[in-house]
Amino acid sequence: MSTHKVRTPRWRLMALAAALFASLWFAATARADDDRAARRVAMLPKYQQECSGCHVAFPPGLLPSASWRRLMGDLARHFGTDASLDAAAAQEIDRWLQTAAGGDRRSRRDPSAPPEDRITRSAWFQREHREIATTTWQRPAVKGPSNCAACHVRAEQGDFNEHAVRIPR
């Protein structure tokens, strides 16, 4: 009977460890994506219809309820445009926004209202877009920070994942 130990080459152990790490990382990433999708609020059809005519119907979790209340309270001067709605539609949208507001992890981390109630002026937006050059915002196809759909190809579905970004030239 032999007492000789079989030694596994170091490279095989490293490859096994790398494969284990990769499988755990992919599983965690998939779970995080599922969690983000589960937290995403289903859009109110009336909100989608009324707001997406001019811009992306922004997910309500991107602003605190106080911001949405102010925005809905002055639709006649909505960032320089008259976005007035009939009373019933405004009430329905406002009620939904108040229920769903601030539910996004980004706005929970900084629950204060951004300057002028602009999503693009919020701390998390500034942090996430700090590497974007001013000249990029000025490109004709981009038109500015509030035109999310110019770069976020799934913005209409409320998906702003940085892995699905295509910045126009």
Beta bridge partners of 152: 165
Q: Which of 49, 56, 89, 54 is nearest to 72 (CA)?
A: 89
Could you tell me if 63 and 42 are in contact, meaning their C-beta atoms sit under 8 angstroms apart?
no
- How far apart are alpha carbons 67 and 120 in whole angstroms? 13
Each residue of 133-165: pLDDT tens digit? 999 999 999 999 999 999 999 998 888 999 999
Each residue of 75-134: pLDDT tens digit? 999 999 999 999 999 999 999 999 999 865 555 556 688 999 999 999 989 999 999 999
Task: Map tokens 């490859």 to a residue.
Answer: 15
